[in-house]
Copies of this chain bind each other. A is one copy, B any other.
Amino acid sequence: MGLELDYIFHPRSIAVAGASESPEKFGHTYFKNILENFSGNVYPINARATEILGVPTYKSVRDIPGDVDYVVSAVPNRDAIDLVNDCVSKGVKALHFFTARFSESGSEEGAQMERDMLSRARAGGMRILGPNCMGLYYPKEGIAWGRDFPWEHGSVGIISQSGGNAGEIISVGASRGLRFSKVISYGNALDLNEADLIEYLADDPETEIIGGYIEGVRDGPRFVKALRYASSRKPVVFLKGGRTQSGTSMASSHTGALAGAQEVWDAMCRQMGVINAFSMEELLDTIIALTRMPPATGTNLLVGGGTGGKGVMSADECEEEGLYLLPIPGEVRDELISNDPFFGAWVTNPVDGSIMGGSKLTPHEVITLIAKNPSYDAVINGISPSVSTNGSASAAPTRAARMLEHTADLANNQGKPVALVIADFTSENQRLLEATLELRRQCVKDGFAVFPTISRAARAIKRLVDYYRWREETD
């Protein structure tokens, strides 16, 4: 149903209206990205400069000799109507407006411009993305607006009413291992709206998980239908901005969106199995859980790696997130005791590795032994590098590598969701900071779901479990 828009995402040629020589400008970055990565024809449009990055410019889209499928607009808003007219005459299929300051500014003049742009585009059979948005990030096709976005592609599809949030999802998500099929920032949703884009991603074979940031809805009934359809096909996670009075009023000045009642949204998510994230962190954490953990429906949790008081707090936080720290079952306890009577009798869940000095068992052996018991559904393991006292840097990677090996073993051999926790703490100790960053990079590279705190890991696992339970009940 949504793939009728597929042509928009597969242009053969792209022109950038307002392509710029200034490296800080959107019209430069975007053009540079497609020039270097997009396989079709690219054209810079600029009335003053004769060339951009060595490519001769055109004064107007109408001057371009070949076909132009897709135009990106970075022109001032006063030139928007003319650009729509030019694109329609040229037979352009889709026009993305990075250009802003229309209805979202609250001025009647801006709203009127939008109406004109829309009616002219409709009359000419052209679709509009935006205005007031970053448009399309499609790494597989070499299309991106950010300077540091990865070109490696993946299976996560995102729609976002906010360009800044779309960029944050891509950048922060990428550093945590997420790779994207398509990310679409759609701003004021003048023509192409949230329902169109959700339907598209629901049918898009390159997209396995749909995530989104939304402020308001243009077409309520269609949106509900699109969301229900998408959720019946793939996991869908949404973060809604404008939950409160302050947020709603801010949303109106941001994208002109009228945010609906939060209670309606919450109820709709529950009913449709849409995962309702309450912060950017939760949105990303949940997508990471869905992409980097196997399905699970049980809440019996084993926690490792927390020593002493941290273990106590971990237990509190996991239980408060709705998981259950199953006490060590009798048969496991017997096995632990047969290996080491003293520690075997003492050890609990969370496993406190710091009490085990002098034991014949290592913390890793204890965790593995407990984790393999079928009563446990999921594991959270806190890991950290250690830097040796005498200043030698070699100890840290070694220990980190060993920890990683242990955890890989745990994840690979249990077939259960395993979350790693590596604290975000910015140490004053440069070696410890570097070792932490290196450990995190390695864990992310090895495919692990890595979280900065126990409670965020617990919440992500609970979201995963809730989702697959809903799936089970629905199927």
Interface residues of A (CB under 8 A from B): 23-24, 29, 100-101, 105-107, 147-148, 160-165, 168, 171-172, 174-175, 213, 215, 239, 241-247, 249-251, 253-255, 279-281, 307-320, 324-325, 327, 342, 345-346, 348-350, 352, 354-355, 388-390, 424-429, 432-433, 437, 440, 452-453, 455
Other-chain contact of A316, B165, B244, B253, B327 (Cβ < 8 Å): B244
Other-chain contact of A309, B105, B148, B160, B345 (Cβ < 8 Å): B160
A366, B409: Cα distance in complex, Å = 55
A437, B428: Cα distance in complex, Å = 10
A325, B163: Cα distance in complex, Å = 23
Inter-chain contact A342/B105, CB cutoff 8 Å: yes
Closest 8 CB pairs of A and B: A162-B309, A247-B316, A241-B312, A246-B315, A244-B319, A246-B325, A165-B309, A23-B389
Other-chain contact of A247, B107, B313, B425 (Cβ < 8 Å): B313
Inter-chain contact B213/A309, CB cutoff 8 Å: yes
Inter-chain contact A24/B313, CB cutoff 8 Å: no
Other-chain contact of A313, B105, B253, B255, B279 (Cβ < 8 Å): B279
Known: A253-B346, A348-B249, A389-B29. A309 touches B279 (CB 8 A): no
Closest residue on chain B to residue A239 by CB atoms: B313
Q: Measured between C-beta atoms, what is the minimum distance from A218 to chain B in Å?
A: 16
Residues of chain B within 8 A (CB-CB) of A313 are 165, 239, 241, 247, 279-280
Residues of chain B within 8 A (CB-CB) of A100 are 355
Inter-chain contact B254/A164, CB cutoff 8 Å: no
Other-chain contact of A311, B106, B254, B425, B452 (Cβ < 8 Å): B254
Inter-chain contact A254/B389, CB cutoff 8 Å: no
Closest residue on chain B to residue A133 by CB atoms: B308
A312, B214: Cα distance in complex, Å = 10
Inter-chain contact B24/A246, CB cutoff 8 Å: no
Known: A23-B389, A279-B313, A425-B175. A254 touches B318 (CB 8 A): no
Closest residue on chain B to residue A259 by CB atoms: B312
Inter-chain contact B426/A319, CB cutoff 8 Å: no
Q: List the number of copies, as a whole number.
A: 2
A354, B101: Cα distance in complex, Å = 11
Closest residue on chain B to residue A242 by CB atoms: B312
Residues of chain B within 8 A (CB-CB) of A172 are 425
A172, B310: Cα distance in complex, Å = 14
Inter-chain contact B317/A279, CB cutoff 8 Å: yes
Other-chain contact of A452, B106, B244, B388, B424 (Cβ < 8 Å): B424
Residues of chain B within 8 A (CB-CB) of A279 are 313, 317, 455
A191, B53: Cα distance in complex, Å = 75
Known: A279-B455, A312-B162, A316-B243. A348 touches B250 (CB 8 A): yes
Q: Measured between C-beta atoms, what is the minimum distance from A261 to chain B in Å?
A: 14
Inter-chain contact B424/A175, CB cutoff 8 Å: no
Inter-chain contact A428/B346, CB cutoff 8 Å: no
Inter-chain contact A308/B163, CB cutoff 8 Å: yes
Known: A309-B162, A425-B175. A352 touches B389 (CB 8 A): no
Q: Measured between C-beta atoms, what is the minimum distance from A181 to chain B in Å?
A: 20
Other-chain contact of A310, B164, B242, B325 (Cβ < 8 Å): B164
Known: A164-B309, A247-B316, A254-B309. A426 touches B428 (CB 8 A): no
Inter-chain contact A24/B389, CB cutoff 8 Å: yes
Inter-chain contact A215/B312, CB cutoff 8 Å: yes
Residues of chain B within 8 A (CB-CB) of A243 are 316, 320
A327, B245: Cα distance in complex, Å = 11
Known: A428-B148, A428-B175. A246 touches B324 (CB 8 A): yes
Inter-chain contact A247/B319, CB cutoff 8 Å: yes
A250, B172: Cα distance in complex, Å = 34
A255, B244: Cα distance in complex, Å = 43
Residues of chain B within 8 A (CB-CB) of A348 are 249-250, 253
Inter-chain contact A427/B175, CB cutoff 8 Å: yes
A105, B352: Cα distance in complex, Å = 12
A389, B427: Cα distance in complex, Å = 28
